[in-house]
Amino acid sequence: MRVYLDCWPCFLRQALSAARRAGASPELQRLILEETMTELRRLSADATPPEMGERIHRLVRARAQAPDPYLEVKREATAQALALLPALRARVATAADPLQTAVRIAIAGNIIDYGVAETFDLETTLERTLHAEAAIDDLDVLRQALAQVDAVLYLADNAGETVFDRVLIETLPVPVRYAVKAGPVLNDATHEEAIAAGLDQVAEIIDTGCDAMGAPLGLCSPAFRERFDRARLIIAKGQANYETLSAVNAPICFLLQAKCSVIAEDIGVAPGSVIIQASEALRGA
C-alpha cells in the first residue's frame, strides 16, 4: 500500500508522540518534527507507510538517545494481555468453531497499537471483535490452506498482541515460525516481547532481519526473505504487514482491524472493520 497524503499528519503525530515518550525536550521535539518533514519531502512516491515510520522512529531513537522509547508500554501491554490468557483459552476450548474463535481473538489483540492511538480497551474490543460481522471473511480459505501445509510463517505485529497470537497458534494444527522485528520500533514485538508472552513455548521465534514496521521485503534480511519465499502459508497480523505486503504475490492471509481510515479505504471497508483477507496467491494455492 502506498503512502497517501492523509498519512502525513499521522507521521507527524507519531514523531511527536515518540519524541515525548523518549523524554525529548520541547526544543528537541521541534527539531525532530522539522527533520520528519524533511524526510517526508524526500519520500519516494512508491514508498509504503511503514518505510516512513521506520525513518521516524530511527530518527527519534538517535536524536533522543533512547534505544527503545516504548519499552515500558510494551511490558505493560504484555502483562495486561497475559492476565486475560486463561479466559481467552477458555473461550476457544468451549467454542463451537475453535479456529474461528481463535482467529477473532488474534484480531482483537490488534487494537494494541500506539502508532494509531494512545489508549485502547482490550476487553471491550474483544467482545466487539468476537461478535462483529467481518467485512472480509476468508476464514474458509485459511482453513483449507491449513489442511494442505506442513508449517505456517506467522508475521507478528505489536507487543501484547503477541499473547492473542499465542492463543491462535495453540489452535493451529501445524508448526509455526513466528517472525518478530530484529530491533525496537514503535511498540512492535521483538524477540524479548515474544519470549515474555510465551511464544517460545508454542512456536519457533525468528526475526525479519530489520527494525522496520511490517515486513518491507527490501529491508528484510536474506535469511528472512528466503523463509518468506518458501512459505506455503503466511499469516500476516496487523496494519503494517498489510501496508507492506498487500501488493506482494505470496500466499498470505491478512488478519487485522482497519483502525486507520486510510487503510480502510484502501481495502474498501468501513473504519474499524474486522478483516480476514486471503491474497490471490493463497486463493489459488
Instruction: Say whether both 139 and 269 belong to one domain.
Output: yes
What range does the domain containing 54 cover?
A: 7-64
23/124 same-domain check: no
Cβ–Cβ < 8 Å for 274, 134: yes
**Residues 224 and 152 grouped into a single domain:** yes
Residue 216 CB-half CA count within 13 A: 20
CATH classification at residue 258: 3.40.50.10880
Domain boundary among 42, 64, 86: 64
Q: Domain for residue 1, yes or no?
A: no
Residue 42: is it exposed, middle or buried by C-beta count within 10 angstroms (0-12/13-18/19+)? exposed
Residue 94: inside a domain: yes
In a domain, 150, yes or no: yes
Indicate whether 50 and 112 sit together in one domain. no
* Rounded Cα distance, 82 and 162, in Å: 9
Give pLDDT, residue 1. Answer: 72
Q: Are 257 and 229 in contact (CB under 8 A)?
A: no
pTM for this one?
0.91
Candidates 172, 177, 202; CA nearest to 105 is 172
Shared-domain flag, residues 111 and 51: no
Chunk the chain into consecutive blocks of 10 residues (it has 285) and report each block's average pLDDT, rounded to whole numbers: 82 92 94 94 83 88 93 92 95 97 92 58 77 93 97 96 96 98 94 97 97 93 98 96 95 93 90 94 87
Question: Which one-letter amino acid corresponds to residue 210?
Answer: C
Same domain, 49 and 125: no
Query: 19 is written with which cell numbers?
Result: 519524541
Q: Are residues 121 and 251 in the same domain?
A: yes
* Tally of structural domains, the chain: 2
The enclosing H or E element of 255 equals strand 252-257
* 128 lies in the same domain as 250: yes
The single residue listed with the C-alpha cell 486463561 is 86
Q: Please check whether residue 2 lies inside any domain of the structure.
A: no
Q: What is the DSSP string of 70-89?
A: THHHHHHHHHHHHHHHHHHH
Confidence (pLDDT) at 285: 65
